Amino acid sequence: MTGLAGRVAVVTGAARGIGRGIAEALAAEGASMVVADVDAEGAERVAEALAGAGVQALGVPVDVGVEVDARRLAETTLDAFGRVDVLVNNAGVASSSPLIETTLDEWNRVLAVDLTGVFLCSRAVAPTMIAQGSGVIVNVGSQLGLRGAPNLAAYCAAKAGVHGLTKALARELAPHGIRVNAVAPGPVDTEILVDVDAETMAGILAEIPLGRVAQVEEIAPIVALLASEGGTYFTGSVVNVSGGHVM
Ligand SMILES: NC(=O)c1ccc[n+]([C@@H]2O[C@H](COP(=O)([O-])OP(=O)(O)OC[C@H]3O[C@@H](n4cnc5c(N)ncnc54)[C@H](O)[C@@H]3O)[C@@H](O)[C@H]2O)c1
């Protein structure tokens, strides 16, 4: 990895969890950071912590599933830093219910954040990246988008959609010098897992050859690699980081 000095990176859902870890990893590589999250205070806190460590960082409130928010995120980044080199579409929500109890509202909410948000934010930064003739988009998918899971229809569909969108954009944007990849993590130790009951978690762990969930520090460096000079021959990849859950 040769670093991201002088580069500008936007990470959505960066107020906590995997997104925060990714923001810290990209900042450690030298990138100026836009910390975007629907949790405005959380985004500000992470931006302040990065700034305290000497990183140029800006917290931006955004609901990635809202078109005007995604546009504003791109504009705010350009106003502050003059370019966009990296977009990490990490913001996501999970919702668990059997198919027959899944309401259309719940389905639409998950799809809006987890899939439409990736489309909207990518579309918002693409004109700048095309004009620059360079850029990297990394999407956070999921191994559940590869293997499926009961009671998670909307989440699995959205994440499978993210993987398909990744490949479509990789082909479309490659002629403009833009690479597009995804990571597909297995279960990661963040707040998104707090609603998973002990029995379900035991069943999940029994199916993972490494026998444990991942830590954020085991996912963020993979995103940093894809975003940096070390990852220049990756495009259209969905990188499986699942402890062997999917193979
Ligand atoms: N933790 C896991 O087991 C796991 C596994 C595979 C993939 N993922 C994916 O990783 C990503 C990060 O998840 P996490 O585990 O860190 O979860 P998390 O709940 O800890 O963090 C998610 C972040 O996204 C933000 N967010 C939610 N909705 C948003 C919106 N509409 N606009 C902007 N920000 C929004 C939240 O405020 C939060 O800061 C998600 O896309 C998730 O689906 C997580």
| CB-ligand 1 contact for 61 (6 Å cutoff) | no
The domain tally of the chain equals 1
Q: In what order do the strands lie in the sheet with 57-61?
A: 57-61, 32-37, 8-12, 86-89, 135-140, 178-185, 238-241
Is residue 1 one of the residues assigned to a domain? no
Burial of 100 (0-12, 13-18, 19+ CB in 10 A): exposed
- How does pLDDT run along the chain (247 residues), one tens digit per residue? 448 999 999 999 999 999 999 999 999 999 999 999 999 999 999 999 999 999 999 999 999 999 999 999 999 999 999 999 999 999 999 999 999 999 999 999 999 999 999 999 999 999 999 999 999 999 999 999 999 999 999 999 999 999 999 999 999 999 999 999 999 999 999 998 988 889 999 999 999 999 999 999 999 999 999 999 899 999 999 999 999 999 9
pTM: 0.98
Give CA–CA dist 38/16, Å, rounded.
11
Atom of ligand 1 nearest to the CA of 214: 3
The length of the chain is 247
The Å distance, Cα 65 to ligand 1 centre, comes to 13
Is residue 204 one of the residues assigned to a domain? yes
| CB-ligand 1 contact for 90 (6 Å cutoff) | yes
Is residue 2 one of the residues assigned to a domain? no
Is residue 246 one of the residues assigned to a domain? no
Q: Show the CA angle centred on residue 133, arms to residues 131 and 139, nearest 5°.
A: 100
| CB-ligand 1 contact for 69 (6 Å cutoff) | no
Is residue 118 one of the residues assigned to a domain? yes
Q: Any catalytic annotation for residue 155?
A: yes
| CB-ligand 1 contact for 12 (6 Å cutoff) | yes
Is residue 69 one of the residues assigned to a domain? yes
Domain range holding 164?
Answer: 8-241
Of the listed 155, 159, 166, 226, which one is catalytic? Answer: 155
Q: Show the CA angle centred on residue 86, arms to residues 84 and 90, nearest 5°.
A: 125
Is residue 40 one of the residues assigned to a domain? yes
Is residue 210 one of the residues assigned to a domain? yes
The CA distances from residue 122 to 12, 33, 84, 169, 182, in Å, are 11, 17, 11, 9, 13
